[in-house]
């Protein structure tokens, strides 16, 4: 099946948890699978990792795994049965009390900065409360503004309020260890608030003996305020529109999404758009026209990947969802003027690596070359080339399986595992053999190779050559 440049991430769940379904999704076009660590017990999570490690894609490698940490999400916690609130009802929201007329929430929540008049939104804003009185640091007396049914484990948001909660919870640390030990290729941090959240998580990953890239999920108003430093610090970003649309006025979300994509593009960082991509297809076999337009606009704005959540995790049509998504991506990409993208992203060259990657794309346009090969040990050369959105295909060749999987979410990059090479002199012959073996370049056609010397030193992209297939 034809590859798309925009990558697809699918979330595992009850409707997407058997080997047959997962293999079908890979065959259709899923590049990476998300494991939502907010749900399920330890064994459930391990079983998902085991399942994905047994799957192979069209080049004989397993798909990438994105492990999504819960982060400091405040939830209804300890509610024995669902309750219904009506407009005007009074109720206590407490992290220390349970019982009648009390809504218990996550036990580590402190309400010091929550004052009368503040709004509390529950279950993605379906239920709305107003704080009447701060009874204590852990209990708030509230009045119901918009009533509805509340179940245990539903999310609780405090728009505009910066709560004293840790960026990593105790459960996150348990899930992080399990994820790293079981093959996670990316770690996503939910409810990122500032750039320093990266340092805290990175130190834990190093402490556990791993080196896995980290993705910041943008879903808090603090993250929006700190977006430039967050994009600069993290390895990738995700616009998680669900909680973002609760934390901030929903009409602001589209412009925030555009801004995050632009910032990530400027810095050569992958950006993922998530939540309600094809939400109507959770229960219906066809999408809405608005959803199709939304997908197309995200692609046109420059998103690297699109992530479906409930559509595959709990939806009735997981395979159909990916087929529809693939069709919309293909159709949209067929209409893109990549030269305009390239011209628009050609400003602000700073480092040698950027200049070389830019030059590779420029040469591909000028000489009508269809293939750019990036030789990479860290993935940086491929990511930088992707930044310029060339019309030519980007082939990333690396001797490391983990780098192949890291690059599986990067726009336009097709990663291939190749034998380890020690010298730059080995590269032309190695590339020629791999391209010929995979029938990617025909005899007489030219291709571009970019990479770094000395071999294996991160961030040294400094050479470019044009060769003809013999």
How many domains, the chain? 3
Q: Are residues 216 and 257 in the same domain?
A: yes
Q: Are residues 45 and 178 in the same domain?
A: yes
pTM of the predicted model as reported, rounded to 2 decimal places: 0.93
Q: Report pLDDT for 48.
A: 96
Q: Report pLDDT for 425.
A: 86
| CB-based contact 279:292 (threshold 8 Å) | no
How many CB atoms within 10 Å of residue 323? 15
Q: Report pLDDT for 347.
A: 67
CATH of the domain at 134: 2.40.33.10
Q: Cis omega before residue 454 (within 30°)?
A: yes
Q: Are residues 20 and 148 in the same domain?
A: no
CATH of the domain at 218: 3.20.20.60
> How far separated are the first and last CA of the chain, in Å rounded?
28
How many CB atoms within 10 Å of residue 141? 16
In DSSP notation, 360-425 reads HHHHHHHTT--EEEEE-SSSHHHHHHHHT--SSEEEEEES-HHHHHHGGGSTTEEEEE-----SGG
Residue 268, Ramachandran bin (φ over 0: left; ψ between -120 and 50: alpha; else beta): left
Residue 78 lies in a domain: no
Q: Name the pairing type of β-strands 236-240 and 271-274.
A: parallel
Q: Are residues 249 and 200 in the same domain?
A: yes
Cα gap 421→408, rounded to integer Å: 22
Q: Report pLDDT for 342.
A: 84
Q: Are residues 343 and 380 in the same domain?
A: yes
Question: Angle, to 10 degrees, between the axis of helix 289-301 and the axis of helix 318-334?
Answer: 50
Q: Are residues 51 and 67 in the same domain?
A: yes
How is residue 242 annotated by DSSP? H
Cα gap 203→403, rounded to integer Å: 20
The boundaries of the domain holding residue 144 are 83-157
Of 107, 132, 157, the domain-final residue: 157
pLDDT digits (tens, 9 = 90+) for 424-462: 888 999 999 999 999 999 999 999 999 887 776 666 678
Cα gap 416→407, rounded to integer Å: 10
Instruction: Give the largest CA-CA distance in the chain.
Output: 80
Contacts 24+ apart (CB under 8 A), 251-260: 256/218, 256/224, 257/298, 257/301, 258/301, 259/227, 260/218, 260/227, 260/231
Cα gap 296→146, rounded to integer Å: 34
Residue 162 lies in a domain: no
Cα gap 22→318, rounded to integer Å: 10
Of 306, 334, 362, the domain-final residue: 334
Q: Are residues 275 and 214 in the same domain?
A: yes
Q: Report pLDDT for 349.
A: 55
Q: Report pLDDT for 460.
A: 67
3-state SS assignment for residue 260: helix
Lookup result for tokens 């990530």: 264
Q: Report pLDDT for 108.
A: 82
Cα gap 369→367, rounded to integer Å: 5
CATH of the domain at 398: 3.40.1380.20
Q: Could you list the pLDDT tens digit for every one of the 470 residues in the chain?
A: 578 999 999 999 999 999 999 999 999 999 999 999 998 889 999 999 999 999 987 777 899 999 999 998 899 998 888 999 999 999 999 999 888 899 999 988 899 999 999 999 999 899 999 999 999 999 999 999 999 999 998 999 999 898 888 889 999 999 999 999 999 999 999 999 999 999 999 999 999 999 999 999 999 999 999 999 999 999 999 999 999 999 999 999 999 999 999 999 988 899 999 999 999 999 999 999 999 999 999 999 999 999 999 999 999 999 999 999 999 999 999 999 998 888 877 666 567 778 899 999 999 999 999 999 999 999 999 999 999 999 999 999 999 999 999 999 999 999 999 998 888 888 999 999 999 999 999 999 999 999 887 776 666 678 899 999 98
Of 293, 317, 334, the domain-final residue: 334
| CB-based contact 32:66 (threshold 8 Å) | yes
SS (H, E, C) 45-110: HHHHHHHHHCCCCCCCCCCEEEEEECCCCCEECCCCCCEEECCCCEEEEECCCCCCCEEEECCCCC
Q: Report pLDDT for 463.
A: 87
- Cα 387 to its chain centre, rounded Å, is 17
């Amino acid at each position: 099946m034809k590859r798309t440049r925009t990558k697809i991430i699918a979330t595992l769940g009850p409707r997407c948890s058997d080997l047959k379904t997962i293999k079908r999704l890979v065959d259709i076009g899923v590049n990476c699978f998300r494991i939502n660590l907010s749900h399920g017990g330890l064994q459930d999570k391990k079983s998902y990792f085991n399942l994905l490690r047994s799957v192979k894609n069209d080049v004989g490698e397993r798909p990438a795994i994105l492990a999504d940490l819960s982060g400091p999400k405040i939830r209804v916690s300890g509610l024995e049965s669902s309750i219904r609130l009506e407009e005007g009802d009074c109720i206590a929201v407490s992290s220390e009390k349970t019982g009648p007329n009390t809504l218990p929430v996550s036990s580590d929540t402190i309400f010091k900065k929550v004052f009368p008049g503040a709004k509390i939104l529950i279950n993605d804003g379906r239920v709305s409360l107003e704080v009447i009185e701060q009874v204590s640091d852990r209990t708030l007396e509230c009045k119901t503004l918009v009533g509805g049914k509340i179940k245990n484990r539903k999310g609780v948001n405090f728009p505009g309020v910066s709560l004293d909660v840790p960026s990593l919870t105790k459960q996150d640390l348990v899930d992080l260890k399990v994820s790293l030990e079981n093959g996670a290729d990316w770690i996503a941090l939910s409810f990122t608030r500032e750039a320093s959240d990266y340092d805290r998580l990175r130190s834990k990953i190093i402490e556990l003996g791993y080196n896995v890239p980290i993705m910041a999920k943008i879903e808090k108003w603090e993250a929006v305020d700190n977006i430039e430093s967050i994009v600069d610090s993290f390895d990738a970003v995700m616009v998680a529109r669900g909680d973002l649309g609760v934390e901030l006025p929903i009409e602001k979300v589209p412009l925030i999404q555009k801004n995050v994509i632009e910032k990530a593009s400027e810095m050569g960082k992958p950006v993922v758009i998530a939540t309600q991509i094809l939400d109507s297809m959770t229960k219906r076999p066809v999408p809405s026209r608005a959803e199709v337009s939304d997908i197309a606009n995200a692609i046109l704005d420059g998103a690297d990947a699109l992530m479906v959540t409930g559509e595959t995790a709990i939806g009735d049509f997981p395979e159909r969802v990916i087929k529809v998504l693939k069709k919309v991506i293909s159709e949209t990409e067929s209409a893109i003027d990549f030269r305009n993208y390239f011209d628009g992203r050609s400003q602000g060259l700073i480092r040698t690596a950027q200049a070389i990657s830019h030059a590779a794309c420029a040469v591909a346009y000028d000489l009508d070359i269809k293939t750019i090969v990036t030789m990479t040990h860290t993935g940086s050369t491929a990511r930088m080339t992707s930044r310029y959105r060339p019309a030519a295909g980007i082939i990333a060749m690396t001797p490391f399986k983990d780098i192949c999987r890291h690059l599986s979410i990067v726009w336009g990059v097709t990663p291939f595992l190749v034998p380890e090479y020690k010298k730059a002199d080995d590269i032309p012959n190695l590339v020629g053999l791999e391209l010929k073996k995979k029938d990617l370049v025909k005899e007489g056609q030219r291709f571009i190779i970019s990479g770094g010397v000395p071999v294996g030193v991160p961030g040294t992209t400094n050479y470019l050559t044009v060769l003809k297939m013999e």
